[in-house]
Amino acid sequence: MSNQPLSRRDFLAASGAALGAGMVLNRAAFGANDRVSVGLIGNGERAGSLAGEIVALRESHNVEITAVCDVWRPNRERMAARVERAYGKKPFQCSRFGELLARDDVDAVVIATPDFGHTPIMIEALKAGKDVYVEKPMSQTVEEATEALDLARANSRVVQVGTQRRSEGRWKAARDFIAAGKLGTVSRISAANCFNHPRWARDFSDCKQEDVDWEAYLFNRPMVPFDPRFLRRWHLYRMCCNGISGLWMAHLIDAAHLVMNASYPSTAVALGGIYVWKDGREHTDVFHALLDYPEGFLFDWCMSLTNGAGTHYDIHGLLGTMDLEKMTYSGAGGTEGKAVE
């Protein structure tokens, strides 16, 4: 990597790989050596990882985190202290994302809120002229996604969506391997992510009402009385996200689209239930989905939080099987028991 200062446009192009996201480049021209000023909206665990990536680019890509926003004061103050340690100065702090978006000194924002905030905040950021990195899933509905995409294109903004695997070389290599015919006709992708743990059931005893801007948190949700579970355990509730399908399957489906050059499934069916972790969660602890694609293959994915059987991502072709978790292929199950070299 070059140590020469980069323009904002170059930074955004390079940071797509660093943040593991796809990218649409902004066509606007920036000054040669302008510093990129980034605001973090949502300062929890995921934002902590992303902040680390940005701080690592501060010298090589001339980037700085200058503003942080979170509805929960402890989250916000922890992130502000971390940013101050990294850059030697205090960032702007707020609990309402509109205050951050109104700042002229913020060029781009990272949106790492609970899922229900992703697209609405992204839309407001685009209207404010900001470039955006947004965590997956970008949207909870097709209508939201379409509105955001149209707005990004109309305003020629940079938008990155943090779907894991999309920018990883091994998945692109698998796509090329399959396209070269080395697996023969692919008819099925079988994937699973299995854990023995009540995932996302975080402790919420330290989440006090006086520390939370509750109205700001539920900005586009029905206003309900303060309940710390909706903030600390938001993954478990329908009001906040789509459950396992949005939290995990979004990554795995996108990987299938990448390696198979596929578009959208023509048919989908899913089943699941809360079989073990009866802790008040509304989303399933076991989930299984089957998706049929017009390109001619079946995608089979399951996730369990009740048994740690492990993880696999197997692509079944007429000539063999590729395991993308282990990055191997063999003739197992294929014609004459071997794959084409």
Amino acid at 58: R
Shared domain for 104 and 176, answered yes or no, is no
Residue 335: the pLDDT is 75
Query: Do 151 and 280 lie in a common domain?
Result: no
Assess if residue 261 is contained within a domain: yes
Q: Taking 90 as the threshold, does the pLDDT of residue 265 lie above it?
A: yes
Does residue 21 sit within a domain?
yes
Residues 157 and 180 in one domain: no
Burial 101-120 (b: 16+ CB within 10 A, else e): bebeebbbbbbbbbbbbbbb
Whether 227 is covered by a domain: the verdict is no
**Confidence label for 19 from pLDDT (cuts 50, 70 and 90):** very low
> Which of 111, 145, 162 lies at the terminal end of a domain, its last residue?
162
Residue 132 has pLDDT above 60, yes or no: yes
Do 249 and 273 reside in the same domain of the chain? yes
Nearest to 320 by CA among 331, 328, 311: 331
Specify whether 315 is located in the same domain as 286.
yes
Given a cut of 70, is residue 338 above it in pLDDT?
no
More confident position, 69 or 11: 69
Q: Examine the pLDDT at 16 and tell me if it is beyond 50.
A: no
Is 219 inside any structural domain?
Answer: no
Question: Which of 162, 187, 206 corresponds to the end of one domain?
Answer: 162
Percentage of residues in the chain having pLDDT higher than 90: 81
- Structural domains in the chain (count): 2
Residue 201 has pLDDT above 50, yes or no: yes
Whether residue 90 has pLDDT greater than 70: yes
Sort 54 into a burial class: Cβ within 10 Å, 0-12 / 13-18 / 19+: buried
pTM: 0.86
* Among 162, 190, 208, residue at a domain's last position: 162
**Residue 214: inside a domain:** no
Domain assignment present for 221: no
Read off the pLDDT of each residue in 227-242 and give the average, rounded to a whole number: 97
Q: Is the pLDDT of residue 13 over 50?
A: no
- In this prediction, residues 45-49 reach a mean pLDDT of 95
In terms of domains, do 130 and 244 share one?
Answer: no
**What CATH number is attached to the domain comprising 305?**
3.30.360.10
Task: Return the ∠ at Cα 334 (arms to 329 and 336), rounded to 5°.
Answer: 115
- Kindly state the average pLDDT of the residues 89-112: 98
Q: Do residues 100 and 92 touch, judged by C-beta distance below 8 A?
A: yes
Do 103 and 180 fall within a single domain? no
Q: Which helix (H) or strand (E) holds 287?
A: strand 286-293
What residue numbers bound the domain in which 67 lies? 8-162
Q: If pLDDT is split at 50, 70 and 90, which confidence band does 130 have?
A: very high
- 220 occurs within a structural domain: no
List the end-to-end C-alpha distance of the chain, in Å, as a whole number.
34
State both tokens at 94: 């707020």
CATH number of domain containing 87: 3.40.50.720
What tokens does 127 get?
């209207």
Element at 268 (helix H, strand E): strand 267-273
- Nearest CA to 161 out of 152, 169, 172, 170 is that of 152
Q: Are residues 103 and 182 in the same domain?
A: no
Same domain, 146 and 14: yes
Does 187 share its domain with 94?
no
pLDDT at residue 18 above 50? no
* Rounded mean pLDDT, 289-306: 98
Residues 252 and 142 in one domain: no
Are 79 and 175 contained in the same domain? no
Residue 1 forms part of a structural domain: no
Distances, alpha carbon 29 to alpha carbons 8, 13, 33, 277, in Å: 9, 13, 12, 52
What's the whole-number mean pLDDT along residues 98-105? Answer: 98
